Chain A
Amino acid sequence: MKGLVSARQSAIIASILIFSNKILTLPSLLSGFAKGDAIFILLMMFLADLGVLCLFFFLKNRYKTQCFFEILSSHLTKPVAIIIYIFLFAYFLMKLLLNFNSTQMYFKTQVYHDAHIFIFLFTTIVILATSILGGLRALARTIEFFYIPLIVGLLFCLFISFANINDIPVLFDTSFKSFFTGAFKYTFCFGDFLILFLLMHKIQIDKKWENNFLKYSIFSMSLILVEYGLFFSIFQFTGFLHTNAMSDIIVLSYKFFDIGRLDIIAIITIMLLTFCQIGLYGYAMCEIFNNIVSRLSVKYSCAFVILCFSILYLLFFNSLDFLVEITTIYLPYISILFQYFLPILTIFLRKKIHSEVAYE
């Protein structure tokens, strides 16, 4: 059917989103609470996310062609489904804003010292428009195309940072309270499989499709764990000072083989990774908006998403510190509700329904 994406492409989408908001700022933020034990926070959250993935398998196997909105509407009535989707729109908008904000700060400190914010904003808007208007199939294929270069870039960064290791990370040095406070405050940075529920009707499953998801997701999670391991091995107790983890871990290898600044590899990799994630968040928001306001042209949905993002960023969320504060104070509750309780709710959704969704 037109507009569908393969299980492999969907697995790659999930795998790319796992890196979102985790490889740059999060290691330093978590290190403030849990130091080297942040690795265990990560491990714990990843296990919870894998649980969510299993719930997605369960739901997808039950409702092979139905859309998540339809499932919610038929079980919980349409107004409730719309309310949930409005919150989901806000949730993904915040994810997009956090992702954009942290990466543009990173680029500003690394290579765009005097650049105007509109350089970043313009590029992001073009990427959002391209991803939304091009449709999920083109976006999934694009991410599939860039997947290997992205992984090679990340592996390269991790590989050369091995040269900078001073000692093994200090573990079991945090109290339970700090550990769980850190985990709770940054819950928002996890739960990346939620997007799969929104796109479930566009995923074409085949035999052993679950294996693809598990394989790609566990690989991405392993890479992040390795990055955290390296980060805490290199910076030990000063980790909280290094806000651009992926770039900072190779900072001592600048003159590796006398090639020049090698962090350019990290910069390009993160640029590409961010564009893929921004495109996916934008598409997810458009999908949500189309369900809330049905029969609306995709152009208008795209314009609405871009408008929401631009206005909110320019008026309220143009400071990373402010955004992080919001993320840690208000968003953990909403995150837990949507990232974990909503998927758990799907276990109880068993009514048979007929699809009314038209594919792209």
Chain B
Amino acid sequence: MFFSAEEFLNTTKKDLHNSSDVGSRTLKCNDKTVAMIFLKSMINQELFSDAIYKPVKNSNCDVSNKTIEKVILCDNVEDAEFSQAVEKILKGYVIIFIEGEKNLISVDIAKFPMRSPSEPPTSPVIRGPRIGFTEDLKTNLTLIRRRFYSEKLVLKDMKIGRYSQTQICIAYLDGIADKKVVKEIQHKLKKVDIDGVVDAFYVGKFLENRPNSLFKQIGNAEKPDIVAGKMLEGRVAILVDGSPIVLTLPFILIEDFQNSNDYYTSNHYATLIRYVRIVGFLLAVIASGIYISLRLFHFNVIPTKFLITITDTTQAIPFTPFVELLFITLLFQVLYEVSLRLPSYLGLATSIVGALILGDTGVNAGLISPPGVIVIALAKIAVYTIPEQAPQLTVLQIVFLILGGSLGLLGIVGGMFYLINYLNRIDSYGAPYLAPYSPRVNSDLKDGFTKKSLVDMKKRPMSFSNKNITRLK
């Protein structure tokens, strides 16, 4: 306990290392000194002046915690311990100290630069909700709460990061989500002792069973309708302050083949689109590998007319087919990276340089062949039929290109066998990664590659554990 306002301010400022954005005010009210301390960068300064400073200054009553709390024109006014002062200041509270009082007053007038909820660029829909998460945890929790006006929605808070003290919130529906999964997530998060958490993906890495695996093992969504849908299936959502990405667990691969659009459109169309995604997935992974294996090992399988076309266009190429395809793949990847990082006004220039100068001139100069460009372009575009899996597909594409170039079809088929076997070893909180196809879970096939109507989906997914299987009565 402090005896004077000056002592309180000096000690608190010292605790905050006399940072340049620490602000303080001292007032004399009816012979008592009132001290206020806050971070200028974290509070709404206008509100501070109008709702706290001026009313306290102009008050004529006896100065005590009880009377000052009534004078302040804010909703979030509460008592605070001296030990909580620094923590609250760092969160954007104004701390008020009145000489002779045993407690402090804390007023939440935090204000950070924040964007309003908008449609995320990665999950646009033609029909359906467009609102997306923001970087503010409170806003994100509100967006989820608005989907469930039920006491069954449970939110559990925790903090991670020695320096960042990032607030994490675990959200699930009581009676649907498996408590074992929730406990396992909490247990894993409690064990995390990291200096800081910058984004949700930092947290995600600690929740994966195989953190060094190429394949993602945690679902992520940027829209509340997607998260609500997953929570209704029995998944657990993890929200991280400062990140617009909400993590969901358990995760199975089929989730990335599903899109929120599928649920707001006809089942038949959704099924068709899902099959298109499978074709896209296969094209992305093996198209370039198959092309190179056919050219190098099994050219007698290619129809004669097509073989003549390929031979005509490739005979003058100075490189081997394998080097040529690898070169086009790398060229595309370089252009992709450049277009991502360059300012938008330079994007057009990149397209011209990439498509016209490098591509067209490369073909005309006889450095690369048109079939090679077509195959790689097709494979690269196909990657974005499942944008959530783009990094994985890009790596697999190069692996299968090497397998096709070195072992032919045997390499491609063997690679597929290895890949599926590897994926079958991944387990996400009790959910087999390739469910509902291996192992086969018949009831979940209704929302697999083929999508049935919502009316037919009477049970929750059984690929992972649920407390309550019945979805529709």
Name A's B-contacting residues (CB within 8 A).
6, 8-9, 107, 111-112, 115, 119-120, 122-123, 126-127, 130-131, 134-135, 137-139, 141-142, 144-146, 258-261, 264, 267-268, 271-272, 275-276, 279
Cβ–Cβ < 8 Å partners of A135 in chain B: 425
- CB of A141 within 8 A of CB of B424, answer yes
Q: Looking at chain B, what size class is its interface with the partner chain? A: 20 to 34
Task: Please report the C-alpha to C-alpha distance between residue A289 and residue B420 in the assembled complex, in whole angstroms.
Answer: 26
- CB of B424 within 8 A of CB of A145, answer yes
Cβ–Cβ < 8 Å partners of A137 in chain B: 424
B411: nearest residue on chain A (CB-CB)? A123
- CB of A142 within 8 A of CB of B438, answer yes
Stretch at the interface among B90-98, B205-213, B295-303: B295-303
A145 to chain B, nearest CB (A): 4
Q: Give me 29 A-to-B residue pairs in the complex whose CB atoms sit less than 8 angstroms apart, sorted by A's number.
A: A8-B440, A111-B409, A112-B410, A119-B410, A130-B417, A130-B421, A130-B422, A134-B425, A135-B425, A137-B424, A138-B422, A141-B438, A141-B439, A142-B417, A142-B420, A142-B438, A145-B424, A146-B420, A258-B303, A260-B303, A260-B306, A261-B300, A261-B303, A264-B301, A267-B409, A271-B410, A271-B413, A275-B413, A275-B414
Task: Please report the C-alpha to C-alpha distance between residue A139 and residue B421 in the assembled complex, in whole angstroms.
Answer: 6
Interface string of B300-318 (1 = CB under 8 A from A): 1111001000000000000
Cβ–Cβ < 8 Å partners of B411 in chain A: 123
A61 to chain B, nearest CB (A): 23
B407 CB–A CB distance under 8 Å: yes
A264: nearest residue on chain B (CB-CB)? B301
- CB of B410 within 8 A of CB of A120, answer yes
Task: Please report the C-alpha to C-alpha distance between residue A141 and residue B300 in the assembled complex, in whole angstroms.
Answer: 34
B434 CB–A CB distance under 8 Å: yes
Question: Which B residues between 402 and 461 are near A, CB-CB below 8 angstroms?
Answer: 407-411, 413-414, 416-418, 420-422, 424-425, 432, 434, 437-440
Name B's A-contacting residues (CB within 8 A).
297-298, 300-303, 306, 407-411, 413-414, 416-418, 420-422, 424-425, 432, 434, 437-440
Task: Please report the C-alpha to C-alpha distance between residue A120 and residue B420 in the assembled complex, in whole angstroms.
Answer: 20
- CB of B434 within 8 A of CB of A141, answer yes
- CB of B417 within 8 A of CB of A275, answer yes
- CB of B413 within 8 A of CB of A138, answer no
Task: Please report the C-alpha to C-alpha distance between residue A264 and residue B439 in the assembled complex, in whole angstroms.
Answer: 28
Residue from B300, B407, B413, B424 in contact with A142 in the complex, judged by beta carbons closer than 8 Å: B424
- CB of B421 within 8 A of CB of A107, answer no
Cβ–Cβ < 8 Å partners of B438 in chain A: 141-142, 144-145
B437: nearest residue on chain A (CB-CB)? A145
B431 to chain A, nearest CB (A): 13
Cβ–Cβ < 8 Å partners of A9 in chain B: 439
B417: nearest residue on chain A (CB-CB)? A275
A286 to chain B, nearest CB (A): 15
Given contacts A111-B297, A142-B420, A260-B301, contact A268 B425 (CB under 8 A): no
Task: Please report the C-alpha to C-alpha distance between residue A355 and residue B157 in the assembled complex, in whole angstroms.
Answer: 46
B298 to chain A, nearest CB (A): 4
B273 to chain A, nearest CB (A): 21
- CB of A127 within 8 A of CB of B417, answer yes
Cβ–Cβ < 8 Å partners of A107 in chain B: 410
Cβ–Cβ < 8 Å partners of B306 in chain A: 260
Task: Please report the C-alpha to C-alpha distance between residue A112 and residue B407 in the assembled complex, in whole angstroms.
Answer: 10
Given contacts A134-B422, A134-B425, A261-B301, contact A112 B408 (CB under 8 A): yes
Cβ–Cβ < 8 Å partners of B300 in chain A: 111, 261
Given contacts A119-B407, A139-B421, contact A111 B301 (CB under 8 A): yes
- CB of B409 within 8 A of CB of A272, answer no
- CB of A131 within 8 A of CB of B301, answer no
The 4 A-B residue pairs whose C-beta atoms are closest, nearest first, are A260-B303, A145-B438, A141-B438, A141-B424
- CB of A111 within 8 A of CB of B424, answer no
Cβ–Cβ < 8 Å partners of B408 in chain A: 111-112, 115, 119
- CB of A123 within 8 A of CB of B414, answer yes
Cβ–Cβ < 8 Å partners of B407 in chain A: 119, 122-123
Cβ–Cβ < 8 Å partners of A145 in chain B: 420, 424, 434, 437-438
Cβ–Cβ < 8 Å partners of B440 in chain A: 8, 144
- CB of B421 within 8 A of CB of A111, answer no
- CB of A123 within 8 A of CB of B432, answer no
Residue from B297, B301, B302, B424 in contact with A134 in the complex, judged by beta carbons closer than 8 Å: B424
- CB of B409 within 8 A of CB of A268, answer yes
Task: Please report the C-alpha to C-alpha distance between residue A120 and residue B408 in the assembled complex, in whole angstroms.
Answer: 11
Task: Please report the C-alpha to C-alpha distance between residue A130 and residue B420 in the assembled complex, in whole angstroms.
Answer: 10
Given contacts A126-B414, A260-B301, contact A141 B409 (CB under 8 A): no
Cβ–Cβ < 8 Å partners of B410 in chain A: 107, 112, 119-120, 123, 271
Task: Please report the C-alpha to C-alpha distance between residue A150 and residue B420 in the assembled complex, in whole angstroms.
Answer: 14
Task: Please report the C-alpha to C-alpha distance between residue A115 and residue B407 in the assembled complex, in whole angstroms.
Answer: 9
Cβ–Cβ < 8 Å partners of A275 in chain B: 413-414, 417
- CB of A130 within 8 A of CB of B418, answer yes
Residue from B425, B434, B439 in contact with A6 in the complex, judged by beta carbons closer than 8 Å: B439
Task: Please report the C-alpha to C-alpha distance between residue A223 and residue B416 in the assembled complex, in whole angstroms.
Answer: 25
Which of the listed residues A130, A131, A146 has the most CB atoms from chain B within 10 Å of its own CB?
A130
- CB of A259 within 8 A of CB of B303, answer yes
Task: Please report the C-alpha to C-alpha distance between residue A123 and residue B410 in the assembled complex, in whole angstroms.
Answer: 7
